[in-house]
Amino acid sequence: LEMARGTAVAERDLRTRFMNQVSHELRTPINTIVNFAHILAQGEMGNVNPKQTDYLGRIEKSGWHSMSVLNDLLDLAQIEAGEFRLKRQIVDLETVCEDAMSSVRSLLRNPEIALVRDYPDKWPRILVDSKRFRQALLNLLGNAAKYTDGGQIILRVRTYEHTATFAVEDSGIGIPAEHHETIFQEFRQLNEAMARQRVGTGLGLPISRHLIEQHGGTLTLNSTVGQGSTFTITLPLAPSPASIESDAESDAANGRTTAKHATPQPVAPKRPI
Ligand SMILES: Nc1ncnc2c1ncn2[C@@H]1O[C@H](COP(=O)(O)OP(=O)(O)OP(=O)(O)O)[C@@H](O)[C@H]1O
Ligand SMILES: [Mg+2]
Residue 228 Cβ contacting ligand 1 at under 6 Å: no
- What pLDDT, in 10s, does the model give residues 3-41? 888 887 787 778 777 877 888 889 899 999 999 999 999
Helix (H) and strand (E) counts for the chain?
A: 7, 7
Q: Are residues 126 and 164 in contact, defined by beta-carbon separation less than 8 angstroms?
A: yes
Least confident span in 56-60, 158-162, 251-255 = 251-255
Q: For position 35, what pLDDT does the model report?
A: 94
Q: For position 14, what pLDDT does the model report?
A: 81
CA-wise closest residue to 101 among 114, 90, 115, 87:
115
Q: Which ligand is nearest to the CA of 72?
A: 1
More confident residue, 251 or 170: 170
More confident residue, 194 or 85: 85
Q: What's the rounded mean pLDDT across residues 97-107?
A: 93
By most ligand atoms within 8 Å of CB, the mutation choice from 182, 183, 186 for ligand 1 is: 183
195 Cα nearest atom in ligand 1 = 29
Q: Where are the domains of the chain?
A: 2-80, 89-236
Q: For position 264, what pLDDT does the model report?
A: 39
CA-wise closest residue to 123 among 156, 157, 163:
157
Instruction: Inform me whether the pLDDT recorded for 213 exceeds 90.
Output: yes
- CATH fold, domain 89-236, is Heat Shock Protein 90 (3.30.565)
Q: For position 255, what pLDDT does the model report?
A: 44
Q: For position 149, what pLDDT does the model report?
A: 92
Q: For position 8, what pLDDT does the model report?
A: 77
- Banded model confidence at residue 55, pLDDT cuts 50, 70, 90: very high
CA-wise closest residue to 211 among 57, 74, 79, 53:
79
Q: Write down the mean pLDDT value for the chain.
A: 84
- DSSP for 237-250, written as a single string: PPPPHHHHHHHHHH
Q: Using alpha carbons only, how large is the chain's radius of gyration in Å?
A: 22
Q: For position 244, what pLDDT does the model report?
A: 57
More confident residue, 200 or 56: 56
- DSSP for 32-68, written as a single string: HHHHHHHHHHTTTTS---HHHHHHHHHHHHHHHHHHH
More confident residue, 248 or 101: 101
Residue 143 Cβ contacting ligand 1 at under 6 Å: yes
What CA dihedral angle connects 161, 132, 130 and 12, to 10 degrees?
110
Q: For position 246, what pLDDT does the model report?
A: 57
- What pLDDT, in 10s, does the model give residues 243-270? 655 555 554 544 443 333 444 344 444 4
Strand 218-224 relative to strand 228-236, pairing = antiparallel
Q: Which ligand is nearest to the CA of 229?
A: 1
More confident residue, 229 or 10: 229
Q: Are residues 143 and 206 in contact, defined by beta-carbon separation less than 8 angstroms?
A: no
Q: Are residues 104 and 140 in contact, defined by beta-carbon separation less than 8 angstroms?
A: no
Q: Are residues 199 and 210 in contact, defined by beta-carbon separation less than 8 angstroms?
A: no
